[in-house]
Amino acid sequence: MLGRSRVVLTALLAGCVLVAAEPARAQASAFGPGEQSTYRMHWLGITAGTTRITVGAQTEQWGRPVWPLVAIGQTESFFRVYPIRDRFISYWDTQTQSSVGSEFHQDENKVRRRMRVRFNAAEGKAMVLKQKEGQPSHEATVDVPPGVTDVAAATFALRNKPLAVGQRYEMPVFTGTRVITMRADVVGTETLDTTLGRREVFKLRVQTEFTGRLASRRDMHVYLTMDEARVPVRIEADLVLGKVVAELSDYQEGRRMAVAPPLQSDS
> What are the tens digits of pLDDT across the range 154-181?
888 888 888 999 999 888 899 888 898 8
Q: Which helix (H) or strand (E) holds 198?
A: strand 197-207
C-alpha torsion angle, residues 213, 19, 54, 208 (rounded to 10): 0
Looking at residues 184-197, what average pLDDT do you find? 95
Whether residue 12 lies inside any domain: the answer is: yes
Whether residue 266 lies inside any domain: the answer is: no
Distance CA(91)–CA(55), nearest Å, equals 10
Whether residue 267 lies inside any domain: the answer is: no
Number of structural domains the chain divides into = 1
Query: Average pLDDT over the chain, rounded to whole?
Result: 81
Whether residue 81 lies inside any domain: the answer is: yes
Residue 131: which CATH number? 2.40.360
Looking at residues 71-97, what average pLDDT do you find? 78
Whether residue 200 lies inside any domain: the answer is: yes
> Contact at 8 Å (CB) between 237 and 16?
no
Cβ neighbours of 143 (radius 10 Å): 10
Whether residue 264 lies inside any domain: the answer is: no
Which pLDDT score is estimated for 25?
A: 43
Whether residue 185 lies inside any domain: the answer is: yes
> Contact at 8 Å (CB) between 205 and 16?
no
Distance CA(54)–CA(32), nearest Å, equals 9
pLDDT of 3 strictly over 50: no
Q: Please state whether the predicted TM-score (pTM) of the whole model is above 0.85.
A: no
Q: CA distances (Å), 180 to each of 47, 49, 144, in order?
A: 29, 27, 10
- The top-scoring range by mean pLDDT among 65-69, 204-208, 242-246 is 65-69
Whether residue 233 lies inside any domain: the answer is: yes
Distance CA(171)–CA(183), nearest Å, equals 7
Q: Could you list the residue range(s) of the whole structural domain that residue 197 is in? A: 5-259
Distance CA(99)–CA(213), nearest Å, equals 25
Distance of CA 23 to the CA centre of its chain: 21
